[in-house]
Amino acid sequence: MKVLVAVKRVVDYNVKVRVKADHSGVDLANVKMSMNPFCEIAVEEAVRLKEKGVASEIVVVSVGPSGAQEQLRTALALGADRAVLVESNDELNSLAVAKALKALVDKEQPQLVILGKQAIDSDNNQTGQMLAALTGYAQGTFASRVEVAGSKVNVTREIDGGLQTVALNLPAIVTTDLRLNEPRYASLPNIMKAKKKPLEFLPPDVLGISTASTVKTLKVEAPAARSAGIKVKSVAELVEKLKNEAKVI
Protein backbone atom coordinates (compact mmCIF):
# COMPACT_ATOMS: atom_id res chain seq x y z
CA MET A 1 0.00 0.00 0.00
CA LYS A 2 1.31 3.42 -0.97
CA VAL A 3 0.84 6.21 1.58
CA LEU A 4 1.03 9.88 0.61
CA VAL A 5 1.85 12.32 3.42
CA ALA A 6 1.56 16.10 3.05
CA VAL A 7 3.80 18.36 5.13
CA LYS A 8 4.03 22.12 5.50
CA ARG A 9 6.90 24.50 6.24
CA VAL A 10 5.94 26.86 9.08
CA VAL A 11 7.59 29.19 11.59
CA ASP A 12 8.96 27.07 14.42
CA TYR A 13 6.52 26.89 17.34
CA ASN A 14 9.19 28.17 19.75
CA VAL A 15 9.65 31.41 17.79
CA LYS A 16 7.79 34.55 18.82
CA VAL A 17 6.08 35.74 15.65
CA ARG A 18 6.64 39.36 14.59
CA VAL A 19 4.42 41.40 12.28
CA LYS A 20 6.04 43.47 9.53
CA ALA A 21 6.14 47.22 10.05
CA ASP A 22 3.81 47.79 7.08
CA HIS A 23 1.32 45.20 8.45
CA SER A 24 1.46 43.25 5.18
CA GLY A 25 2.26 39.94 6.84
CA VAL A 26 4.52 38.07 9.25
CA ASP A 27 8.24 38.88 9.27
CA LEU A 28 10.08 35.73 8.15
CA ALA A 29 13.56 37.25 7.89
CA ASN A 30 16.11 35.17 9.84
CA VAL A 31 13.32 33.15 11.45
CA LYS A 32 13.72 29.44 12.17
CA MET A 33 11.37 27.37 10.03
CA SER A 34 10.27 23.82 10.87
CA MET A 35 7.83 21.12 9.85
CA ASN A 36 4.32 21.78 11.09
CA PRO A 37 3.86 19.71 14.32
CA PHE A 38 0.66 18.05 13.08
CA CYS A 39 2.51 17.08 9.88
CA GLU A 40 5.22 15.42 12.01
CA ILE A 41 2.47 13.28 13.53
CA ALA A 42 1.24 12.39 10.03
CA VAL A 43 4.75 11.30 8.97
CA GLU A 44 5.19 9.26 12.15
CA GLU A 45 1.89 7.45 11.59
CA ALA A 46 2.87 6.57 8.02
CA VAL A 47 6.25 5.25 9.20
CA ARG A 48 4.54 3.12 11.85
CA LEU A 49 2.24 1.66 9.21
CA LYS A 50 5.29 0.74 7.16
CA GLU A 51 7.00 -0.82 10.18
CA LYS A 52 3.89 -2.97 10.70
CA GLY A 53 4.11 -4.15 7.10
CA VAL A 54 0.88 -2.38 6.12
CA ALA A 55 2.49 0.32 3.96
CA SER A 56 5.00 -0.53 1.24
CA GLU A 57 5.99 3.01 0.22
CA ILE A 58 5.76 6.45 1.82
CA VAL A 59 5.76 9.49 -0.46
CA VAL A 60 6.01 12.81 1.37
CA VAL A 61 4.91 15.95 -0.48
CA SER A 62 4.85 19.68 0.12
CA VAL A 63 3.63 22.77 -1.68
CA GLY A 64 5.66 25.93 -1.15
CA PRO A 65 9.00 27.67 -1.70
CA SER A 66 12.26 25.88 -2.46
CA GLY A 67 13.19 26.13 1.23
CA ALA A 68 10.52 23.51 1.97
CA GLN A 69 12.95 20.85 0.75
CA GLU A 70 14.55 21.13 4.21
CA GLN A 71 11.35 19.86 5.82
CA LEU A 72 10.99 17.17 3.16
CA ARG A 73 14.54 15.96 3.92
CA THR A 74 13.55 15.80 7.58
CA ALA A 75 10.57 13.62 6.65
CA LEU A 76 12.87 11.39 4.59
CA ALA A 77 15.17 11.07 7.60
CA LEU A 78 12.17 10.01 9.70
CA GLY A 79 11.44 7.13 7.35
CA ALA A 80 9.74 8.34 4.15
CA ASP A 81 11.00 6.76 0.92
CA ARG A 82 10.87 9.70 -1.48
CA ALA A 83 9.67 13.29 -1.65
CA VAL A 84 7.95 15.65 -4.07
CA LEU A 85 7.98 19.45 -3.84
CA VAL A 86 5.50 21.52 -5.83
CA GLU A 87 7.54 24.70 -5.96
CA SER A 88 5.59 27.93 -5.59
CA ASN A 89 6.37 31.34 -4.11
CA ASP A 90 2.72 32.43 -4.19
CA GLU A 91 0.84 33.24 -1.02
CA LEU A 92 -0.88 29.88 -0.76
CA ASN A 93 -4.35 29.37 0.65
CA SER A 94 -5.99 26.09 1.61
CA LEU A 95 -7.83 25.60 -1.69
CA ALA A 96 -4.69 26.16 -3.78
CA VAL A 97 -2.81 23.59 -1.69
CA ALA A 98 -5.72 21.14 -1.90
CA LYS A 99 -5.77 21.44 -5.70
CA ALA A 100 -2.03 20.80 -5.85
CA LEU A 101 -2.40 17.76 -3.61
CA LYS A 102 -5.30 16.53 -5.77
CA ALA A 103 -2.99 16.62 -8.80
CA LEU A 104 -0.35 14.68 -6.87
CA VAL A 105 -2.93 12.12 -5.74
CA ASP A 106 -3.95 11.62 -9.37
CA LYS A 107 -0.28 11.20 -10.32
CA GLU A 108 0.79 8.90 -7.46
CA GLN A 109 -2.46 6.95 -6.89
CA PRO A 110 -1.93 6.33 -3.15
CA GLN A 111 -4.31 4.14 -1.17
CA LEU A 112 -4.04 6.35 1.91
CA VAL A 113 -3.39 10.09 2.26
CA ILE A 114 -2.40 11.44 5.69
CA LEU A 115 -2.28 15.14 6.59
CA GLY A 116 -2.00 17.14 9.79
CA LYS A 117 -5.44 18.41 10.82
CA GLN A 118 -4.20 22.01 10.62
CA ALA A 119 -1.09 24.16 10.30
CA ILE A 120 0.02 26.26 13.26
CA ASP A 121 0.53 29.38 11.11
CA SER A 122 -2.91 29.79 9.52
CA ASP A 123 -4.88 27.38 11.80
CA ASN A 124 -7.47 26.96 9.05
CA ASN A 125 -8.16 23.22 9.37
CA GLN A 126 -9.40 23.11 5.76
CA THR A 127 -6.94 21.42 3.40
CA GLY A 128 -7.74 17.80 4.30
CA GLN A 129 -11.47 18.32 3.96
CA MET A 130 -11.06 20.21 0.67
CA LEU A 131 -8.84 17.46 -0.70
CA ALA A 132 -11.45 14.86 0.22
CA ALA A 133 -14.09 16.87 -1.62
CA LEU A 134 -11.90 17.24 -4.72
CA THR A 135 -10.91 13.57 -4.86
CA GLY A 136 -14.21 12.09 -3.72
CA TYR A 137 -12.33 9.96 -1.17
CA ALA A 138 -13.72 9.05 2.23
CA GLN A 139 -12.28 11.14 5.05
CA GLY A 140 -11.54 10.63 8.73
CA THR A 141 -10.63 13.86 10.50
CA PHE A 142 -9.06 14.52 13.94
CA ALA A 143 -7.72 10.96 14.13
CA SER A 144 -6.50 9.71 17.50
CA ARG A 145 -6.13 6.11 16.25
CA VAL A 146 -5.70 4.60 12.78
CA GLU A 147 -6.03 0.89 11.95
CA VAL A 148 -5.88 -0.52 8.43
CA ALA A 149 -7.89 -3.72 8.00
CA GLY A 150 -7.96 -5.15 4.48
CA SER A 151 -9.66 -2.70 2.14
CA LYS A 152 -10.82 -0.47 4.99
CA VAL A 153 -9.21 1.90 7.48
CA ASN A 154 -10.79 2.36 10.89
CA VAL A 155 -10.29 5.86 12.25
CA THR A 156 -11.05 6.76 15.86
CA ARG A 157 -11.68 10.48 15.94
CA GLU A 158 -12.11 13.00 18.71
CA ILE A 159 -15.47 14.75 18.84
CA ASP A 160 -17.17 16.99 21.40
CA GLY A 161 -18.99 14.05 23.00
CA GLY A 162 -15.90 11.82 23.26
CA LEU A 163 -14.61 9.36 20.64
CA GLN A 164 -16.16 8.17 17.40
CA THR A 165 -14.86 5.33 15.20
CA VAL A 166 -15.58 5.38 11.47
CA ALA A 167 -14.77 2.68 8.91
CA LEU A 168 -13.58 4.13 5.60
CA ASN A 169 -13.19 2.35 2.29
CA LEU A 170 -9.74 2.78 0.76
CA PRO A 171 -8.54 5.00 -0.81
CA ALA A 172 -9.14 7.44 2.02
CA ILE A 173 -7.89 10.65 3.57
CA VAL A 174 -6.99 10.95 7.26
CA THR A 175 -6.11 14.10 9.19
CA THR A 176 -4.15 13.65 12.41
CA ASP A 177 -4.79 14.99 15.89
CA LEU A 178 -2.29 15.48 18.72
CA ARG A 179 -3.00 12.23 20.58
CA LEU A 180 -2.46 9.92 17.60
CA ASN A 181 1.23 9.36 18.36
CA GLU A 182 4.47 10.95 19.54
CA PRO A 183 6.84 11.69 16.63
CA ARG A 184 10.35 10.26 16.81
CA TYR A 185 13.59 12.18 16.38
CA ALA A 186 15.66 11.67 13.26
CA SER A 187 18.97 9.98 14.00
CA LEU A 188 22.21 11.26 12.48
CA PRO A 189 22.71 8.17 10.26
CA ASN A 190 19.18 8.54 8.91
CA ILE A 191 19.73 12.26 8.28
CA MET A 192 22.79 11.35 6.20
CA LYS A 193 20.86 8.63 4.32
CA ALA A 194 18.03 11.10 3.61
CA LYS A 195 20.40 13.20 1.49
CA LYS A 196 20.56 10.35 -1.03
CA LYS A 197 16.83 9.67 -1.19
CA PRO A 198 15.00 11.03 -4.27
CA LEU A 199 13.46 14.50 -4.06
CA GLU A 200 11.46 15.56 -7.12
CA PHE A 201 10.75 19.21 -7.94
CA LEU A 202 7.57 19.97 -9.87
CA PRO A 203 6.36 23.41 -11.02
CA PRO A 204 2.58 23.86 -10.74
CA ASP A 205 2.09 24.17 -14.52
CA VAL A 206 3.44 20.64 -15.04
CA LEU A 207 0.56 19.40 -12.88
CA GLY A 208 -1.88 21.61 -14.78
CA ILE A 209 -2.75 23.75 -11.76
CA SER A 210 -2.39 27.33 -10.59
CA THR A 211 -1.32 28.22 -7.05
CA ALA A 212 -2.28 31.89 -7.41
CA SER A 213 -4.24 32.92 -4.34
CA THR A 214 -7.90 33.88 -4.59
CA VAL A 215 -7.68 35.52 -1.16
CA LYS A 216 -6.09 38.93 -0.57
CA THR A 217 -4.59 39.81 2.82
CA LEU A 218 -5.65 43.33 3.71
CA LYS A 219 -3.83 43.80 7.01
CA VAL A 220 -2.02 41.74 9.64
CA GLU A 221 -1.84 42.92 13.26
CA ALA A 222 -0.32 41.46 16.39
CA PRO A 223 -2.78 40.62 19.18
CA ALA A 224 -3.44 43.44 21.60
CA ALA A 225 -1.35 43.29 24.76
CA ARG A 226 -3.32 42.06 27.76
CA SER A 227 -3.58 44.44 30.67
CA ALA A 228 -2.43 43.31 34.10
CA GLY A 229 -4.97 41.71 36.39
CA ILE A 230 -6.02 42.95 39.82
CA LYS A 231 -6.54 41.29 43.18
CA VAL A 232 -9.79 41.63 45.08
CA LYS A 233 -10.26 41.26 48.82
CA SER A 234 -13.59 39.46 48.86
CA VAL A 235 -16.08 37.50 46.78
CA ALA A 236 -18.51 40.41 47.07
CA GLU A 237 -15.95 42.76 45.53
CA LEU A 238 -15.27 40.25 42.74
CA VAL A 239 -18.98 39.96 41.93
CA GLU A 240 -19.34 43.76 41.99
CA LYS A 241 -16.48 44.24 39.50
CA LEU A 242 -17.70 41.45 37.20
CA LYS A 243 -21.15 43.02 37.20
CA ASN A 244 -20.38 46.75 36.99
CA GLU A 245 -16.93 46.95 35.36
CA ALA A 246 -16.53 43.83 33.20
CA LYS A 247 -20.30 43.59 32.68
CA VAL A 248 -20.16 39.82 32.20
CA ILE A 249 -22.83 38.99 34.77
| Amino acid identity for residue 245 in this structure | E
Mean pLDDT of successive 10-residue segments in the chain (249 residues)?
96 89 86 94 96 95 94 96 93 91 95 95 92 96 93 92 93 94 93 94 91 84 83 91 86
What pLDDT, on the 0 to 100 scale, is given for residue 197?
95
Mean residue pLDDT across the chain: 92
What pLDDT, on the 0 to 100 scale, is given for residue 249?
83
Question: What's the N-to-C CA distance of the chain in angstroms?
Answer: 57
What pLDDT, on the 0 to 100 scale, is given for residue 90?
86
Q: Which residues pair with 116 in a beta bridge?
A: 176
The tens digit of pLDDT for each residue in 216-248 reads 888 888 888 888 888 899 999 999 989 988 888
* Separation in Å, CA 196 to CA 3, 81, 87, 105, 216: 20, 10, 20, 24, 39
What pLDDT, on the 0 to 100 scale, is given for residue 199?
96
What pLDDT, on the 0 to 100 scale, is given for residue 112?
96
Delimit the domains of the chain by residue range: 2-244
SS3 204: helix
What pLDDT, on the 0 to 100 scale, is given for residue 79?
95
CATH top-level class of 2-244: alpha beta
Phi, psi of 135 (to 5 degrees): -90, -25
Helix (H) or strand (E) holding 99: helix 94-108
SS3 247: coil
DSSP type of residue 42: H
